Amino acid sequence: MNAFEPRLGDVVEEQDTLRFERSMDTRTDPYLLDHVVEGLPVFPAAYLVGLMTQAAHRMRPHLDVVGVRDVRFVQAARFRGDRALQLAVTAGPEETEPAGIPVVISSRMAPPRVGSPHILRTHGHGRVLLGAPEERAARFQRIDFSGAADYAELYALPREIRHGPAFLAGLRYQRPSPDQLLALVAPPGGPGRGWREDAAAPGWPSTLLNAILHVGFSLGVLSSARTLLPLELEAAELYAIPEGQVQVFARLKAVQGGRMALHVVSWDGQGRPVGVFRGFVLQEVP
């Protein structure tokens, strides 16, 4: 399997619902070891969105994934030692909006002691929009990142956060003002690799989502100097899956009560839009 991308599990179809289940741990999904928060591997929030789009596309494979709406990151999926969790991705149709597929991601984990109940958690939910892709003319100016700072220098981050090479896709960055961050990102494993390596997973590549949203996350951490957790993604559109490097612009839009709302825009080396992410909300950890 791809060393950087999560995958859906075996599928069970019940009426108009698809439920994908698989066991997951740090051996089956080694990229988890490159995303450690407070000493434990954590399933990345952007990867939840990637799995949502994969599941929705499996329901209507004749359509493309064009957007997501009202994504909530409810509870982090943490991994302790070699304990596995049974991940479930459930997708079902929504009668009020035929193009929108609601998706819920949850898990079940064995109890730490014999006789105790299984640990059940909901990790995220949202709606995935499907339809015909919208073509956008090139309209972004390509930024020259020569002489810019190395992206790894952003990681004078709180000690509670540790990222490894499978997770950290950034190459260079600039910070033109305290509320803005520009970055150049590439597929994990090097600029020569593609974002979509698995033709059997036709949703949005989780590595691409992660690389783009991570620029917004980095701006939030730089602005607060605190550990942050993602709370929600109000809306997102992905116009194209690029071949190589992507330029990303993140802007801090609002700060209130320990919450930060950011907008993130991305484009390829020719200035063609890649994706727009609105209302990416982060919460400071007390």
Residue 259 bridge partners (DSSP): 256, 283
For the chain, list the domains and their CATH numbers. 10-131 (3.10.129.10), 149-284 (3.10.129.120)
Helix (H, G, I), strand (E, B) or coil at 209: helix
Q: Which of 9-13, 200-204, 255-259 has the lowest mean pLDDT?
A: 200-204
Contacts of 72 (CB under 8 A, 6+ apart): 124, 125, 126, 231, 232
pLDDT of residue 199: 67
User: Exposed, middle or buried, 176 (CB in 10 Å: 0-12/13-18/19+)?
Assistant: exposed
pLDDT of residue 211: 92
Q: Is the pLDDT of residue 115 over 80?
A: no
The pTM assigned to this predicted structure is 0.91
pLDDT per residue as tens digits for the range 79-114 = 887 788 999 999 987 666 666 899 999 998 876 666
Q: Is the pLDDT of residue 43 over 80?
A: yes
pLDDT of residue 1: 41
Task: Specify the DSSP class assigned to residue 179.
Answer: T
Residue scoring higher pLDDT (171 or 278): 278
CA distances from 102 to 47, 78, 230, 241 (A): 16, 24, 20, 23
Q: Which residues of 249-283 are buried (b: 16+ CB within 10 A; e: fewer)?
A: bbbbeebeeeebbbbbbbbbeeebbbbbbbbbbbb
A 10 A CB-CB count for 57 gives 21
Residue 18 CA to residue 11 CA, distance in Å, equals: 7
Of the candidates 154, 147, 148, 184, which has an alpha carbon nearest to the alpha carbon of residue 169? 184
pLDDT per residue as tens digits for the range 135-155 = 777 788 889 998 899 988 876
Contacts of 258 (CB under 8 A, 6+ apart): 283, 284, 286
> Residue 30 in contact with residue 6, Cβ under 8 Å?
no
Q: Which residues of 90-109 are buried (b: 16+ CB within 10 A; e: fewer)?
A: bbbbeeeeeebbbbbbbbeb
Write out the two tokens for 246.
């992507």
Give the DSSP H/E element, type plus range, for residue 53.
Answer: helix 45-59
As a whole-number percent, the residues of the chain with pLDDT over 70 amount to 88
pLDDT of residue 188: 81
